[in-house]
């Protein structure tokens, strides 16, 4: 373990003792600790939570059922405005076909997300989810908080009522996408038309209370400060204390892809620092997932030394966070090879993080 000195050494001792860090300590670590110090501390927390040398993955597929959206987030190159000739809504048969392909590969999870499409009210989702569940034994990890909040608006329902109906029709869990940075200043700047950070957290709290688990994400690299990243982590940690409903945390950096934000995107060094601080601060979120889709397989593999214990999903398609130019795809064999080459046993899991082998 790298030599920790002064103030960082004191913080490091608290981490080693299993103590929870404050906001100020998180910022101090982020700003002053070396990469190796962060790796050593994140690794401590990782092994405390996962004593076995195992890294998990899930066989899943992303389905972007519609790209129609009016929210115009400045970092997003995926959406098409309502009325655009390039807008689409996949037919049920197209969706079934994609799920069939996944099931034939032994897959267990569908991650289904789209835009905020004004023509799709709750009955569309109820019908779609019911039809999927009638045909396939598949876990439906679907609809970001922003999509669900919008469905409640256009369907004139409370959040609780909408979630109950979606759950009854087959929704199993909610992806944490759309959190970006849960800081008002950042949200107002990059996605002013989206729901607020408070609304995202309230939606997740209600879902967890209804026994609908979710993941949590963080998209950073949009001109925010390191303190704002830690603020985001604190909000996730506080909600997790109340509900215990977050199964995993997944940080990734903003990917420039022809959108309006025109930022520079993250580096491997910045990603490893961010993932390590996330592991250290989120002592109550059991799993940290690699984001190799955006950061690439090599950085994904390295992140296993920075607190990551899960390699996420085999992704057959993904349009919202990446474009052709930034996409990194790996076969199942490559995923397993990357995990095993780093010294871990690669084990398949389901969406609830139960081992399947
Ligand atoms: S990130 Fe989501 S909500 Fe924002 S414009 Fe893209 S599809 Fe719409």
Give CA–CA dist 12/2, Å, rounded. Answer: 11
Question: Which of 181, 303, 307, 156 lies closest to 236 in space, CA to CA?
Answer: 181
Name the residue range of residue 232's domain. Answer: 53-348
> 4 lies in a domain?
no
Convert the pLDDT of each residue in 13-25 to its tens digit: 999 999 999 999 9
Cα(106) to centroid(ligand 1), Å: 30
> 278 lies in a domain?
yes
- 36-58: average pLDDT: 97
Is the C-beta atom of 203 inside 6 A of ligand 1?
no
Cα angle 134, 122, 173; round to 5: 60
| C-beta separation of 57 from 69 below 8 A | no
> 15 lies in a domain?
no
Question: Sorting pLDDT into bands at 50, 70 and 90, what band is 322?
Answer: very low
Q: Which letter does DSSP use for residue 75 in this model?
A: T
> 159 lies in a domain?
yes
Cα angle 219, 157, 209; round to 5: 60
Q: Which two tokens stand for residue 173?
A: 């869990």
- Nearest atom of ligand 1 to the alpha carbon of 78: 6
Cα(33) to centroid(ligand 1), Å: 35
Is the C-beta atom of 81 inside 6 A of ligand 1?
no
Q: What are phi and psi of 32, to 5 degrees?
A: -120, -25
Cα-Cα-Cα-Cα dihedral sign, residues 168, 173, 175, 181: positive
| C-beta separation of 212 from 243 below 8 A | no
> How many domains does the chain contain in total?
1
pTM of this structure: 0.93
pLDDT score of 328 = 59
Give CA–CA dist 16/25, Å, rounded. Answer: 14
- 262-286: average pLDDT: 91
More confident residue, 264 or 4: 264
Largest separation between any pair of C-alpha atoms in the chain: 62
> 353 lies in a domain?
no
Q: Which two tokens stand for residue 59?
A: 């066989």
72: left (phi over 0), alpha (psi -120 to 50) or beta: left
Is the C-beta atom of 219 inside 6 A of ligand 1?
no
pLDDT score of 1 = 47
pLDDT score of 246 = 98
pLDDT score of 321 = 44
> 178 lies in a domain?
yes
Q: Whose CA is nearest to atom 4 of ligand 1?
A: 73
> 87 lies in a domain?
yes
Convert the pLDDT of each residue in 111-147 to its tens digit: 999 999 999 999 999 999 999 999 999 999 999 999 9
Is the C-beta atom of 150 inside 6 A of ligand 1?
no
Cα-Cα-Cα-Cα dihedral sign, residues 165, 171, 177, 182: positive
Convert the pLDDT of each residue in 75-102 to its tens digit: 898 999 999 999 999 999 999 999 998 9
DSSP letters along 316-352, please? Answer: S---SS--TTT-----HHHHHHHHHHTT-EEEEB-TT
> 288 lies in a domain?
yes
With the most atoms of ligand 1 within 8 angstroms of its CB, the residue from 64, 68, 70, 76 to mutate is 76
Q: Whose CA is nearest to atom 2 of ligand 1?
A: 115
Q: Whose CA is nearest to atom 6 of ligand 1?
A: 76
CATH at 105: 3.20.20.70
pLDDT score of 34 = 95
Q: Is the pLDDT confidence value at 106 over 60?
A: yes
């Amino acid at each position: 373990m790298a030599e920790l000195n002064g103030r960082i050494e004191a913080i490091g001792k608290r981490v080693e003792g299993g103590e929870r860090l404050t906001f100020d300590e998180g910022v101090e670590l982020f700003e002053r600790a070396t990469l190796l110090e962060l790796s050593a501390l994140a690794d401590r927390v990782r092994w405390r939570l996962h004593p076995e040398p195992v890294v998990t993955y899930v066989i899943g597929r992303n389905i972007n059922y519609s790209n129609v959206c009016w929210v115009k987030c400045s970092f997003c190159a995926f959406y098409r405005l309502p009325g655009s000739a390039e807008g689409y809504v996949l037919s049920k048969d197209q969706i079934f076909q994609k799920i069939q392909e996944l099931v034939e590969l032994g897959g267990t999870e569908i991650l289904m997300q789209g835009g905020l499409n004004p023509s799709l009210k709750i009955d569309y989702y109820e019908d779609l989810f019911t039809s999927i569940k009638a045909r396939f034994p598949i876990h439906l990890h679907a609809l970001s908080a922003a999509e669900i909040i919008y469905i409640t608006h256009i369907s004139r329902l409370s959040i609780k009522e909408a979630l109950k109906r979606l759950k009854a029709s087959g929704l199993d869990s909610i992806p944490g996408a759309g959190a970006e940075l849960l800081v008002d200043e950042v949200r107002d700047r990059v996605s002013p038309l989206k729901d607020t950070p408070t609304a995202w957290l309230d939606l997740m709290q209600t879902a967890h209370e209804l026994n609908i688990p979710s993941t949590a994400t963080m998209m950073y690299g949009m001109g925010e400060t390191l303190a704002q990243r830690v603020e985001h982590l604190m909000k996730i940690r506080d909600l997790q204390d109340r509900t215990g409903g977050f199964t995993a945390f997944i940080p990734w950096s903003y990917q420039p892809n022809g959108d309006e934000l025109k930022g520079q995107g993250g580096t491997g060094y910045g990603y490893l620092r961010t993932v390590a601080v996330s592991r250290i601060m989120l002592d109550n979120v059991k799993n940290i997932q690699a984001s190799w889709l955006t950061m690439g397989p090599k950085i994904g593999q390295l992140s296993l030394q920075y607190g990551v214990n899960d390699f996420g999903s085999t992704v057959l398609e993904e349009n919202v966070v990446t474009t052709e130019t930034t996409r990194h795809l790996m076969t199942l064999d490559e995923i397993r090879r990357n995990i095993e080459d780093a010294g871990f046993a690669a084990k398949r899991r389901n969406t609830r993080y139960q081992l399947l082998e």
